């Protein structure tokens, strides 16, 4: 059971960054729909409101209706708002130019339908104002592929639009809830984009406050689903274990030991809940979201001849049971809880044996032949060591069978490229990153000009029609978790855990691929700026690195020709080099 009697210092920690107005946007064009509607296009799917500076007659009403998308005919698409009206209506006083804007709501939109104005609309009278928590941007990334750069922008805007006091799932419809699964899968990426230490610190206090007496964690925090079908005292893998995963991710990203120490009773209570729900160390009971929104074949939109990618719910749960236990081992070690370290280590061994007995044949074939099944089993070392390489081969063959398209859902996607890179298949990881037809990260950008991450891989289908309007958001950041891999692998910026967390001990290890000719990334850490920039010129690789004060870094050079590595014309002749703070310039053969 988790105590709800918070000490006084919780009150200070619970004060989150204020929500502020940020970027302003003017319409990039004024459109007329086939129905004769006047539509302002602000060029960016954002969250906030429109400020109007307008003059009119007393009693005239102006109505602004906010939508994310236009259909293929150019008509505003309202259906995915469900019961949300997403409208602002103003009645003019007739006293000259009036400045009108709301203060107690927000909308998710790119397009605004304007009604009530007579005469030609002046787009300069309208300003879209982006609204989100006052998080400082900390990470940047750029490469030679413009679609990947747009993906980077989409991921950041997805976070901006959904980090409004709590990490919401989507901002435009009648929901806007703090779904734990979305926050969990994206938390490490979030910490690259912006400084979210206090944002998540406050939200995790809410997690503890709403945690059920049996240790389970509601699917939405704050738990506004009480009295609905989702209000049940159970936990779901990948969702409820945000209570364990996010505190540790914040420690790794910021070196914030106190957040783990404060949340540890909650973390332990949730793991104890799962242990109680499991039977002989096998978590195969209760409700599960599993690999939410993974690829489903559709006769008109799916890849021809490709089957749906459905992973067994409890296979997924067992992998996350292991993931949670592995984190608890690390958290207990961090806090000096030696007895609990040993307890959790023994538990982890039993969890893996139970997985192997239930979901794997003797030759290493899983009962679910999906990308997600092999990704999770490889990520969390569920295979015996001698069967891991064959599992990688099965994973790669599966990806090849889908013509280098991903089929993963919310829980498989974050680990897809990291697993491939870990096991030496960076070539496949890059092919997935750069795939631009459905389903892929770049499909929404290339086919439909997306400016945020979508809820579904095909929220808008290749033929321009929409997915189920009951659950189709165009600003839903979960699939943007790939940015974690982009930072750590393409730019090559990472941190050691344990004593080196929070970029006290930095790893610079860029891995080249995808015909990229340059990539550069930077991150503002608590110690200062760390950056990694590489480019290819005439078959020569140039690597520039900056390391902040009071830290050190291990630089792993992306070449096997160690004899060609030079630092300012001095031969390095090593595959890696440990350096202190400063700026470094290296050149080497590919």
Number of helical (H) and strand (E) elements in the chain, helices listed first: 14, 21
**Whether the predicted pLDDT of 437 surpasses 90:** yes
The whole-number pLDDT of residue 304 equals 56
Helices 197-210, 257-277: crossing angle, 10 deg rounding:
40
What residues make up the domain containing 559? 494-589
Residue 31: predicted pLDDT: 96
pLDDT at 580 over 60: yes
381, 456: one domain: yes
Looking at the structure, do residues 314 and 291 belong to the same domain, yes or no?
yes
Segments of 57-156 assigned E as strands: 61-67, 87-91, 98-100, 107-115, 126-133, 139-143
The structure tokens 């954002």 sit at 46
Residue 149 neighbours by CB under 8 Å, 6+ apart: 141, 142, 143
Question: Mean pLDDT, the chain, as a whole number?
Answer: 94
- Residue 297: per-residue pLDDT: 85
Q: What pLDDT does 302 receive? A: 61
Contacts of 390 by beta carbon, 8 Å cutoff, 6+ apart:
363, 364
Do the strands 87-91 and 107-115 form a parallel or antiparallel pair, or are they unpaired?
unpaired
Instruction: Identify whether residues 416 and 325 lie together within a single domain.
Output: yes
Considering the candidates 68, 175, 326, 524, report the single residue annotated as catalytic.
175
The string of pLDDT tens digits covering residues 371-401 is: 999 999 999 999 999 999 999 999 999 999 9
559 in Cβ contact with 590 (< 8 Å): yes
Q: Residue 358: how many CB atoms within 10 A of its CB?
A: 15
CATH (domain of 522): 2.60.420.10
Q: What is the pLDDT of residue 232?
A: 83
**564 within a domain of the structure (yes/no):** yes
Q: Give the model's pLDDT for residue 300.
A: 47
The verdict on residue 2 lying in a domain is no
CA distance 122 to 466: 31
DSSP secondary structure of 184-213: HHHHHHHHHHB--HHHHHHHHHHHHHH--T
Of 133, 163, 185, the residue that ends a domain is 133
Residue 70 near residue 25, CB atoms below 8 Å: no
pLDDT value of residue 229: 80
- Of 283 and 300, more confident: 283
Q: How confident is the model at residue 418 (pLDDT cuts 50, 70, 90)?
A: very high
CATH number at residue 61: 2.60.120.260
Check pLDDT > 90 for residue 19.
no
Candidates 326, 455, 505, 524; catalytic one: 455
- Distance (Å, rounded) from C-alpha 214 to C-alpha 272? 9
Which H, E and C letters describe 132-178, residue by residue?
EECCCECEEEEECCHHHHHHHHHHHHHHHHHEECEECCCCCCCCCCC
CA distance 494 to 502: 9
Contact 241, 411 (CB under 8 A): no
Count the domains in the chain: 3
pLDDT at 539: 87
Question: Percent of the chain at pLDDT above 70?
Answer: 96
Q: Are 102 and 184 in the same domain?
A: no
Are the CB atoms for 494 and 506 separated by under 8 Å?
yes
- Residue showing tokens 């809830």: 177
477: pLDDT confidence band, cut at 50, 70 and 90? very high
The answer to whether the beta carbons of residues 295 and 371 sit under 8 Å apart is no
What average pLDDT does range 11-15 have in this prediction?
Answer: 38
| Known catalytic membership, residue 115 | no
93 and 177 fall within a common domain: no
**Angle at the Cα of 583 from the Cα atoms of 483 and 519, rounded to 5 degrees:** 30
**Of 466, 491, 516, at which residue does a domain stop?**
491
Domain contains 4: no
Peptide bond connecting 439 to the previous residue in cis, omega within 30 degrees of 0: yes
Question: Which residues on neighbouring strands pair with residue 88, listed in sequence order?
Answer: 64
Are 434 and 145 contacting, i.e. CB atoms less than 8 angstroms apart?
Answer: yes
455 is catalytic: yes
Pairing of strands 61-67, 493-495: unpaired
pLDDT at residue 3 is higher than 50: no
Q: Is the pLDDT of residue 6 over 90?
A: no
Do residues 445 and 147 make contact, with C-beta atoms less than 8 angstroms apart?
Answer: yes
The number of CA neighbours under 13 Å toward the Cβ of 333 is 14
In a domain, 5, yes or no: no
Average pLDDT over residues 552-566: 96
- In contact, 111 and 28? CB cutoff 8 Å: no
CATH number at residue 228: 1.50.10.10
Same domain, 170 and 25: no
Q: Are residues 476 and 507 in the same domain?
A: no
The two three-digit tokens of residue 316, written as one number: 């997924």
- What was the pLDDT predicted at 17? 55
Instruction: Let me know: does 87 contact 94? Beta carbons within 8 Å.
Output: no
Buried b (16+ CB within 10 A) or exposed e, 282-317: bbbebebbbbbbbbbeeeeebbeeeeebbbbbbbbb
Q: Is residue 195 part of a domain?
A: yes
CA angle 149, 152, 157 (to 5 degrees): 130
- Helix or strand (DSSP H, E) at 272: helix 257-277
Closest-CA residue to 180 (of 129, 140, 234): 234
pLDDT at residue 16 tops 70: no
| pLDDT, tens digit (0-9, with 9 covering 90-100), for 255-289 | 999 999 999 999 999 999 999 999 999 999 999 99
- 9 in any annotated domain: no
CB 487 within 8 A of CB 493: yes
CA distance 390 to 384: 11
3-class state of residue 580 by DSSP? coil
Query: Is the pLDDT at 220 greater than 90, yes or no?
Result: yes
Q: How far apart are CA 207 and CA 408, in angstroms?
A: 27
Q: First CA to last CA across the chain, in angstroms?
A: 57
Instruction: Flag whether 209 is in a domain.
Output: yes
pLDDT category, 306, cuts 50, 70, 90?
Answer: confident
User: How confident is the model over 180-218, as pLDDT tens digits?
Assistant: 999 999 999 999 999 999 999 999 999 999 999 999 999
103 and 83 inside one domain: yes
Cα torsion at 420, 184, 194, 141 (round to 10°)? 20
127 and 143 in a single domain? The answer is no
pLDDT of residue 554: 98
Query: What tokens appear for 26 in the block?
Result: 């003017």
Q: Are residues 173 and 236 in the same domain?
A: yes
Packing angle, helices 388-401 and 371-379, rounded to 10: 150
Does one domain contain both 444 and 484? yes
pLDDT digits (tens, 9 = 90+) for 92-109: 999 999 999 998 899 999
Question: 3-state class of 397 per DSSP?
Answer: helix
Cβ contact 146:154 at 8 Å: no
Helix (H, G, I), strand (E, B) or coil at 126: strand
Paired strand residues for 126: 52
Section 244-258 average pLDDT: 97
**Residue with tokens 């699939």, as numbered in its chain:** 479
The model's pTM: 0.94
Q: Can you say whether the dihedral through the CA atoms of 113, 118, 120, 121 is positive or negative? A: negative
In this structure, are 483 and 396 located in the same domain?
yes
Residue 7 lies in a domain: no
CA-to-CA separations, 174 to 86, 256, 479, 529, in angstroms, rounded: 9, 35, 21, 40
Neighbours of 60 (CB within 10 A): 16
pLDDT of residue 1: 37
Domain final position from 491, 515, 547: 491
Whether the Cβ atoms of residue 68 and residue 131 lie closer than 8 Å to each other = no
For the segment 522-536, the average pLDDT, to the nearest whole number, is: 98
């Amino acid at each position: 059971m988790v105590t709800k009697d918070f000490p006084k210092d919780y009150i200070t920690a619970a004060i989150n960054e204020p929500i502020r107005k940020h970027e302003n946007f003017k319409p990039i064009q004024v459109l007329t729909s086939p129905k004769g509607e006047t539509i302002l296009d602000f060029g960016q799917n954002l969250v906030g409101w429109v400020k109007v500076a307008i003059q009119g007659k007393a009693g005239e009403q102006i109505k602004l209706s906010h939508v994310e998308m236009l259909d293929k005919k150019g008509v505003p698409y309202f259906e995915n708002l469900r019961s949300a009206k997403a409208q602002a209506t103003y009645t003019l006083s007739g006293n000259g130019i009036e400045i009108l804007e709301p203060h107690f709501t927000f909308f998710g939109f790119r397009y605004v339908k304007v009604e009530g104005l007579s005469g030609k609309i002046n787009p300069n009278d309208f300003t879209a104002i982006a609204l989100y928590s006052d998080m400082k941007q900390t990470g940047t990334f750029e490469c030679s592929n413009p679609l990947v750069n747009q993906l980077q922008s989409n991921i950041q805007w997805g976070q901006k639009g959904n980090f409004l006091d709590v990490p919401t799932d989507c901002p435009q419809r009648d929901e806007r809830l703090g779904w734990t699964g979305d926050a969990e899968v994206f938390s490490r990426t979030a910490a690259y984009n912006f400084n979210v230490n206090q944002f998540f610190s406050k939200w995790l206090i809410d997690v503890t406050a709403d945690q059920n007496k049996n240790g389970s964690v509601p699917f939405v925090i704050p738990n506004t689903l009480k009295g609905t079908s989702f209000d049940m005292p159970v936990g779901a893998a990948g969702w409820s274990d945000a209570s364990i995963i996010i505190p540790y991710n914040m420690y790794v990203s910021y070196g914030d030991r106190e957040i783990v120490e404060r949340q540890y009773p909650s973390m332990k209570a949730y793991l104890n809940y799962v242990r109680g729900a499991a039977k002989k160390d096998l978590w195969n009971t209760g409700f599960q979201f599993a690999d939410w929104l993974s690829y489903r074949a559709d006769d008109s939109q799916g890849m021809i001849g490709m089957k749906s990618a459905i992973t067994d719910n409890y296979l997924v749960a067992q992998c996350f049971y292991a993931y949670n236990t592995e984190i608890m081992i690390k958290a207990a070690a961090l806090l000096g809880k030696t007895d609990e370290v040993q307890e959790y280590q023994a538990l982890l061994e039993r969890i893996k044996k139970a997985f192997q007995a239930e979901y794997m044949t003797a030759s290493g074939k899983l009962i679910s032949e999906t990308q997600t099944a092999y990704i999770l089993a490889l990520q969390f070392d569920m295979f015996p060591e001698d069967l891991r390489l064959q599992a990688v081969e099965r994973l790669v063959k599966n990806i090849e069978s889908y013509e280098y398209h991903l089929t993963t859902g919310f829980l498989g996607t974050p680990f897809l490229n990291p697993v491939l890179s870990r096991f030496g298949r960076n070539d496949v990881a890059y092919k997935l990153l750069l795939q631009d037809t459905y389903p892929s990260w770049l499909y929404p950008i290339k086919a439909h000009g997306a400016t945020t991450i979508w809820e579904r891989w095909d929220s808008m289908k290749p033929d321009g029609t929409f997915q189920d309007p009951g659950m189709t958001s165009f600003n839903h950041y979960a699939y943007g978790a790939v940015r974690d891999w982009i930072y750590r692998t393409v730019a090559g910026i990472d941190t050691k855990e344990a004593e080196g967390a929070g970029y006290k001990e930095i790893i610079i290890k860029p891995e080249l691929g995808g015909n990229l000719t340059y990539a550069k990334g930077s991150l503002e850490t608590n110690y200062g700026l760390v950056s990694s920039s590489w480019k290819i010129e005439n078959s020569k690789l140039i690597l520039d690195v900056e390391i902040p004060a009071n830290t050190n870094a291990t630089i792993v050079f992306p070449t096997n020709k160690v004899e060609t590595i030079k630092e300012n014309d001095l031969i390095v002749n090593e595959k890696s080099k440990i350096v202190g703070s400063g700026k470094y310039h290296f050149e080497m053969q590919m």
